[in-house]
Structure 1
Amino acid sequence: MFRLYSNSESSHVLCCAHFPEFSGSSPDEEFSTQRSFDRTVEKMLREASFDPTTLTLVGEQQGYPVGDRLFDATVPRTGTVSYAFQEAGPPWIVLGLDVSVDEFWSGIDDDEDLHGLGPTSPLRSVPATVLTETEWPRRSDLDSP
């Protein structure tokens, strides 16, 4: 899951964290899993010297982003995050790291899942600090059985 935040100085930070699996058998389990994820993101932010209370959520994407840059073994600590809001509206976005406008929209057209999210123009691009979990899985690891 990817969460893009901004602060009052118009700085941006992208948090990349794996959302824990849960059976979905009870609302309590879902709530507990969501809280656990929220705590993980807050910890990532604090460890990188960001105060979560000063940040505003720009948007969130669940699932694969456009391109593979966020799954590289050495994700950069900074980069340009390009994002478009989904048809469902904020806070739902589709994003990519260090992709051109053409690469972004081509990636959407070439991926049925991303296309199904219904990203809409305009595409926004912002410089951001990129934070990832220590144990961030590579995309190829996620695709294997």
Structure 2
Amino acid sequence: MASELTIFYLYSTQNEEKYFLLRTERPGFSNASQVQEDLGNQIEQLKRDFILAEIGKKYHQNGQVNFELIGEFQGDPIGEKLYHDNGNLELNVYYMETEFGKPWIIIGEANSETAFLTELNDDSDLLRLNPVGQPKQITATFITENDFDLSEIENAKTKDLRTN
């Protein structure tokens, strides 16, 4: 059985200096079922698409926003605030590219670059991602799937997961 997976996505808006850090969860599934894995991935994608559409409505009059994916991080990031149930917070975010290339990044919330790097160097799991280059610092709006009512997506697809 594959467990739930927490995924962080860092986006920027084109032609603006606005950043969004999204946190979603891919539901668990049976490792023996490719159908369940595909559905789990689809659920996570639908939730992320919904959140991006809602951000577009909130931050732009016509709702049309061109988002650019900076990177993706799966797992346990640096910074306590990234574990809060809800988002809608402006955070001081640091990220680094990894040896694995785009879209993979290491992400964290910290008061300074030194604090970010100290936490990174103390975490063997994060170091295994082989960070490269220098950390980049941005201010991002942190948004979680808990900030929205995604019950229609979750209920419809979770029912499919259980029956396949």
TM range (shorter): 0.7 to 0.9
Higher alpha-carbon deviation: 56-65 or 119-128 = 119-128
| Identical columns (%) | 30
Partner of 1:129: 141
Residues paired across the two proteins, number: 135
Q: Distance in 1 between matches of 2:8 and 2:86?
A: 17
Further displaced range: 104-113 or 48-57: 48-57
> What is the aligned partner in structure 2 of residue 79 from structure 1?
91
Is the 8 Å Cα contact of residues 6 and 58 (structure 1) preserved in structure 2? Answer: yes
Of 100, 110, 122, which residue of structure 1 is paired with 2:112?
Answer: 100
Give per-residue Cα distances to partners, 1:63-98, cap 9 Å, x unaligned: 000122211466452112210011101110000123
| Contact 2:86-2:144 at 8 Å conserved across structures | no
> Where in structure 2 are there 5+ consecutive unaligned residues?
1-6, 148-164
Q: TM-score, normalised by structure 1?
A: 0.81
The RMSD of aligned alpha carbons is 2.1
Structure having the larger proportion of residues in strand = 2
Q: CA deviation at 1:6?
A: 0.9
Higher CA-based Rg: 2
Structure 1 residue ranges without an equivalent (≥5): 136-145
Residue 7 (structure 1) aligned with residue 7 (structure 2)? no
- Opposite residue 77 of structure 1, the aligned amino acid is L
1:130 partner amino acid: F
